[in-house]
Structure 1
Amino acid sequence: MLTALRIFFPFILSLGLTYAQYDLVVYGATPQGVTAAVAAAQEGLKVLLLEPGRGVGGVLTRGWLATLDLAEDREGLLQGGLFRDFYRRIGKEASFDVVQAEQAFWAMLREAGVEVRLEVPLDRVGVEAGRLTLLETPMGTVGAPYFVDATDTADLAFRAGASFTQGREDTGLDGRSMAATLVFRMEGLPWGAVFLALNYEGQVRRTGAGAWERSG
């Protein structure tokens, strides 16, 4: 499962002043991209959020990773900040509806005044003296003093010449990537029956199965 808040720390790339139409350009409308853009806009910056895909929310909404790993103590949820705002908007449930989650992200962006453009792939990046200065996209050239790469693949950082390791190389192991989570949708199954069957398996047969809220 994806640890909530681990998603909220994007990679700040560089500083440049050419073609500065915005104070900050965030590339990638993943959860970390949305929250970086919202946080900056709430501080008064003019922010542009670009996304190569068709929606916002990344793995939570486009990848259907619809269960959060929450950290709680006896007084309640430990995570705060913008995550807590998002959590409130999806009904304060660890498992959530992906459509509702995307609507929550859109509401946060709209309320913060972030300009959002979808389906904007990168054509080229401009780098001057080791600093990223502009992006060339089908919508035109975009410049800003600051850029954030919030993509899952670090596409912008790679094109800008940032150093990187692949897979587990940074630990001195190999270049293999982390296994992906298989997520699929089923139709025609009554959730109530699935819920009871999984909990029966776990509690009576001790198989480790279980179900709660929207997840099994």
Structure 2
Amino acid sequence: MDRRSFLGRLGLAAAGAAVLPSVASCADGGFTDCPALDNVKESYQSDLLVVGGGPAGVCAAVAAARKGLKVLLIDNGNCLGGMGTKGLVGPFMTCYDAKGERQIIRGLFEEIVDRLIKEGGAIHPSKIRHTTEFTAWITEGHDHCTPFDPEILKKVYDRLCAEAGVKVLFHANFVGPIMKGDSIRGAVLLTPSGLEAARARMVIDATGDGTVAYRAGAPCVFGDPENGRVQPASLFFRINNVDTDRLIADVVPHLPEFRRVNGVSYRCLHWRVAQAEAAGEWDLARKSVNIWRSVEKDQWVINCTRIHGVDATDAENLTAAEVEGRRQVEELLNFFHKYGPGCEKATLMGTGSTMGIRESRHVHGDFVLPVQDLIDGIIPEDNILLSANSIDVHGAMGGPAGGLYMPIQKDMYGIPYR
């Protein structure tokens, strides 16, 4: 079956009885000597199964439930939000056009932000301008970001799903698809209750790694199609007890020095990084620090670690990356204590409970959006959303060194439904 036929039929055929495969058939080898793997309990039946509880999964589930579908949303963690909660990745990037004049991303995103603000968990993007402490003093592509509190975001997602009637199941690991011919009719899950079958008329893959599509046989490519390389991963962390006024006072006089040299970014605290390097107390790849002020004045989000060659689809590789990420966090915390004005007494609030992955598998769809369409600001007839984010492929040094950065030439571009 070709790619178009597969994706065209994926989850769209008429509902009917599907043959539940033994879990052994989901793996390359047999497990006839392990009876436990044959005990799959029939547990869930829904119109739609969404695998992955990040922002995409939450919004897909809520939108479907509001249309009257019976929805099951599963996640392998203990909360919704994905990278924004478990990964501590923040802030939300711009929802405005390239000129920073008009908000173009609304819908459920705006509803989530409004709920966050009501609970004291966000600052509205209209109040956030580029080249400030809320954007790590970055200018390009960082106008009207949305700082948020990840703990409050967890609660907002919980309530959003509950109000829409979405059934949420945490601690549910996707094992393999239940297939009827070439159509996915659900999934086998591993939960604390054991192996369970979740049947559905349709399945949405919101795993981030294309796990459902890949295991169902959809064509995928890992990383760069030419060399298999992936963008570096990052482990985010948060600090508090920062004298923010002192930190800002140290940064602002150096803003005219912010620059890129051969693709290497010299931005926030690059002069302090140079001091640490000279003292032999800095061995990270980056030459500056991305540090973002959060909702509370003394709290900051740090995006500075860089772990290369991370295969998010390989457990041992990902384990090593998590350990290396925490090592880098410790080094960075020591740096802030010694070289960061106002950070001498900063405390570690926490590291992401999962690695921030920028790239792993890419699922090959029927249509691949051309890069030039984004740059030229093409808005197709079958447009489903607008965006103004630049093309930003991260390289080794924290910017586009070894990567790619291309700002768009128009106010915005569209993404087609096709």
1:21 counterpart SS class: strand
Please say if residues 195 and 212 of structure 1, whose CA atoms lie closer than 8 Å, have aligned partners that are also in contact.
Answer: no
TM-score, normalisation: structure 2: 0.44
Distance 2:64 2:52 in 1: 15
Q: Partner of 2:248 in structure 1? A: 195
Distance 1:123 1:89 in 2: 34
Q: Partner of 2:392 in structure 1? A: none
Identify which of structures 1 and 2 has the higher relative contact order when contacts are C-alpha pairs closer than 8 Å and 6+ apart: 1
Please say if residues 49 and 186 of structure 2, whose CA atoms lie closer than 8 Å, have aligned partners that are also in contact.
Answer: no
Unmatched 5+ residue regions in structure 1?
1-11
Which amino acid is 2:268 matched to? A
Question: Among residues 110, 114, 128, which one is paired with 1:84 in the alignment?
Answer: 110
| Percent identical | 28
Q: Mapping of 1:148-167 within 5 angstroms?
A: 148-167=204-223
Worse overlay, 74-83 or 28-37: 74-83
Query: What is the total number of aligned residue pairs between the two structures?
Result: 201
Q: Mapping of 1:1-216 within 5 angstroms?
A: 13-15=10-12, 16-18=15-17, 21-73=45-97, 76-91=102-117, 92-93=124-125, 94-138=146-190, 139=193, 140-169=196-225, 173-202=226-255, 208-209=267-268, 214=294
Provide the aligned C-alpha RMSD in A. 2.6
2:157 counterpart SS class: helix
Worse overlay, 154-163 or 87-96: 87-96
Distance 2:292 2:90 in 1: 13
TM-score, normalisation: structure 1: 0.81
Distance 2:148 2:251 in 1: 19
Which amino acid is 2:111 matched to? D
Distance 1:213 1:76 in 2: 23
Please say if residues 17 and 144 of structure 1, whose CA atoms lie closer than 8 Å, have aligned partners that are also in contact.
Answer: no
Cα deviation digits, residues 106-152 of structure 1 (max 9, x gap): 12111111000001012332212111112122352111110001011
Tell me how far 1:80 sits from its aligned partner. 1.4
Unmatched 5+ residue regions in structure 2?
1-8, 19-43, 118-123, 126-145, 259-265, 270-290, 295-299, 302-418
Distance 1:202 1:107 in 2: 41
Which amino acid is 1:54 matched to? N
2:222 counterpart SS class: coil
Please say if residues 56 and 105 of structure 1, whose CA atoms lie closer than 8 Å, have aligned partners that are also in contact.
Answer: yes
Which amino acid is 2:103 matched to? L
2:49 counterpart SS class: strand
Worse overlay, 25-34 or 134-143: 134-143
Worse overlay, 107-116 or 90-99: 90-99
Tell me how far 1:38 sits from its aligned partner. 0.3
Worse overlay, 143-152 or 129-138: 129-138
Which amino acid is 2:149 matched to? D
